[in-house]
Chains A and B, each alone.
Chain A
Amino acid sequence: MQHLDEGTIHAWLDGALPPDEAAGVERHAAACTRCAEQIAEARGLIAAASGIVSSLDVVRGGVLPAARDRARQRSLWRALRLTPVRAALAATVLVAAGSLLAVRHTQIDISQQLVQNAHNLPRRPAAAATRPPSAVSVPAAAPAAPVSKRHPTVVAANTAPVRDSARTARAVVAETAPVAAAAAPKAEPAPANAAPSVAVDSVDAARRAAAHAATPARRLPAFGQSSLKLQEVVVTGLAEAHGMEGCFELRGERTARDAGLPERFALERPNIVRFVNPDSGRDSIIPGASWRQTGPTAARVTFPLPNGAPTTVEFNTQTLSTRFADVSKPTVRVVRADCKP
């Protein structure tokens, strides 16, 4: 069989060849080193071209849902159909509602104070005084922190080590919710066997007031309890442009010229180049090596060679190109590699 031409290779990689022809290409590629290399190069070209085309998009295709994309087109004022008059009316209603809540909250405090005063009366029964503290601090009715199956990270955040700000936020959400629930005002029920006395009327009145006040008080969530719901984090293509730190490896046929270069290395800020072990662990700093980011997906690294002369390699992880300052046709290529943090 003749060597494969570029068109056939691309058609094969794009899955456009009929099955029998594709099988023939596969067999040939397995036996022919030259064609296997061309296939590898074509793969790289397809990936690189796709990356370049994708970078044309302001928002990469399929990253944001179409509905959200459309929603961004309209301003909030238009979406809510707000005019200045309507906004003023809404603000008035909001202030009124806030004032009402404040007044009611004051009433609840007064009711609780009355209950407390009643409990502090001399003829308070012993049973009420010896109530276990757990019944007061964590009542069964107290709502637990809302844990949705859709947000398992909220649960994990309680025990997982906090590493970044996003996780910190999750941990705060998860941990404040039960605290807020426990801190929410709760009406302590009056003792069942309160003895009749002159204070009975006031106790009953206080109990009724407390019972009345406690119901809405329980329904009202503590600040931050209901509003803090963790939403899914959407990672967009922006994350790709963050830097060239990370681990890389040299692939391809090593020549005597490249013998002094490390097989794997890690780039770290500000200007550190490390060896990377075969088990993907970061090792010691390569003395005399330095690096510089030369583009969003490109870097230039200078390695000292055993003969004392430094060599510079520039590579681009998007176009998969690798250039040496003093080698016209390099046989090795720098690609990203996994390594331990």
Chain B
Amino acid sequence: MNDVDRLFREYHQPLVRYLTRRLGDRDWAEEVAQETFLRAIRQETIVSERSWLFAVATNLVRDEARKDARRRRRLELLREQERAEQSVDPEPLTLERAEEAALARRALEALGERDREALLMREEGLDYTEIAAALELSVGSVGTTLARARKRLVEAYESLQQPRSDARHGAGAHAAS
């Protein structure tokens, strides 16, 4: 097994999970991960593999976000076509879980870009040094970044959840009356 194989086996799954959480789209995440590994193959030396891969993937996501909407629409179309061709059963999702995931995504989107990336990298097990290297931060500021990201995420999630639970409560009371 060569280095590329090892790199892929070791980091593909966490990288795709990180990107899926970041982008909210599994297929898109797979594409970015593939591009990341392609670049890793071209790279002669990589000092810190994990932080390098996550940094490149993050930069690719940022680049992608800057590209024109036309190309993105085309990708969407291609993805839809691919989905239609594949006879894959969708994952069973309960309504509650889908709602929960949608809330979580909206809460995550409410964070600043750096906070969001630091948090998602930490959730993938990157240590402070790796996060600092990937996001070009000082190691000392990672703790503060994470503290802020976590607090804001939880606050955003709660504030999003509040009107929903009020609406449910109101609907329940209305139904009861």
Residues of A at under 8 Å CB distance from B? 5-11, 14, 16, 42, 45-46, 48-50, 52-59, 61, 66, 72-75, 77-78, 237-238, 241, 292, 294-298, 300, 314, 316, 319, 321
Residues of B at under 8 Å CB distance from A? 13, 17, 20-21, 24, 26, 86-89, 91-94, 96-97, 99-101, 103-105, 107-108, 119-120, 122-123, 127-128, 140-151, 153-154, 157-158, 161, 164-165, 168-169, 172
Is the pair B154, A48 in contact by a Cβ cutoff of 8 Å? Answer: yes
- Complex interface: chain A residues within 8 A of B164 (CB): 295
> Once the chains are docked, how many angstroms separate the CA of A5 from the CA of B140?
12
> Once the chains are docked, how many angstroms separate the CA of A9 from the CA of B144?
9
Q: How far is the CB of A12 from chain B (nearest CB, A)?
A: 8
Q: How far is the CB of B15 from chain A (nearest CB, A)?
A: 12
- Complex interface: chain B residues within 8 A of A298 (CB): 161, 165
Is the pair B123, A5 in contact by a Cβ cutoff of 8 Å? Answer: no
Is the pair A238, B147 in contact by a Cβ cutoff of 8 Å? Answer: no
Is the pair B127, A49 in contact by a Cβ cutoff of 8 Å? Answer: no
> Once the chains are docked, how many angstroms separate the CA of A322 from the CA of B142?
29
> Once the chains are docked, how many angstroms separate the CA of A241 from the CA of B92?
13
> Once the chains are docked, how many angstroms separate the CA of A124 from the CA of B14?
76
> Once the chains are docked, how many angstroms separate the CA of A292 from the CA of B171?
12
Is the pair B157, A58 in contact by a Cβ cutoff of 8 Å? Answer: no
> Once the chains are docked, how many angstroms separate the CA of A237 from the CA of B105?
18
> Once the chains are docked, how many angstroms separate the CA of A129 from the CA of B26?
73
- Complex interface: chain A residues within 8 A of B148 (CB): 6
Given the known A-B contacts A6-B144, A10-B143, A57-B21, are A294 and B123 also in contact in the complex, defined by CB atoms under 8 Å? no
> Once the chains are docked, how many angstroms separate the CA of A91 from the CA of B146?
60
- Complex interface: chain A residues within 8 A of B24 (CB): 56
- Complex interface: chain A residues within 8 A of B169 (CB): 292, 294, 300
Q: How far is the CB of A55 from chain B (nearest CB, A)?
A: 5
Is the pair B91, A59 in contact by a Cβ cutoff of 8 Å? Answer: yes
- Complex interface: chain A residues within 8 A of B107 (CB): 52
Which of A53, A294, A314, A319 gathers most chain B CB within 10 Å?
Answer: A53
User: By DSSP majority rule, is chain B's interface helix, strand, loop, or mixed?
Assistant: helix
- Complex interface: chain B residues within 8 A of A7 (CB): 140-147
Q: How far is the CB of A193 from chain B (nearest CB, A)?
A: 65
Is the pair A16, B119 in contact by a Cβ cutoff of 8 Å? Answer: no
Is the pair A292, B172 in contact by a Cβ cutoff of 8 Å? Answer: yes
Is the pair A53, B104 in contact by a Cβ cutoff of 8 Å? Answer: yes
- Complex interface: chain A residues within 8 A of B123 (CB): 50, 53-54
Is the pair B97, A241 in contact by a Cβ cutoff of 8 Å? Answer: yes
Write 22 A-B pairs (CB below 8 A) sorted by A numbering.
Answer: A6-B143, A6-B151, A7-B141, A10-B144, A11-B128, A14-B146, A16-B128, A16-B143, A42-B147, A52-B108, A53-B123, A53-B153, A54-B123, A55-B101, A57-B20, A238-B97, A292-B169, A292-B172, A295-B164, A300-B165, A319-B154, A319-B158
B143, B151, B172: which contacts A11 (Cβ < 8 A)?
A: B143
Q: How far is the CB of B159 from chain A (nearest CB, A)?
A: 10
Is the pair A238, B94 in contact by a Cβ cutoff of 8 Å? Answer: yes
Q: How far is the CB of A51 from chain B (nearest CB, A)?
A: 9
Is the pair B100, A296 in contact by a Cβ cutoff of 8 Å? Answer: yes
Is the pair A49, B172 in contact by a Cβ cutoff of 8 Å? Answer: no
> Once the chains are docked, how many angstroms separate the CA of A300 from the CA of B148?
28
- Complex interface: chain A residues within 8 A of B89 (CB): 72
> Once the chains are docked, how many angstroms separate the CA of A53 from the CA of B20?
11
Q: How far is the CB of A18 from chain B (nearest CB, A)?
A: 11
> Once the chains are docked, how many angstroms separate the CA of A21 from the CA of B153?
28
Is the pair A49, B20 in contact by a Cβ cutoff of 8 Å? Answer: no
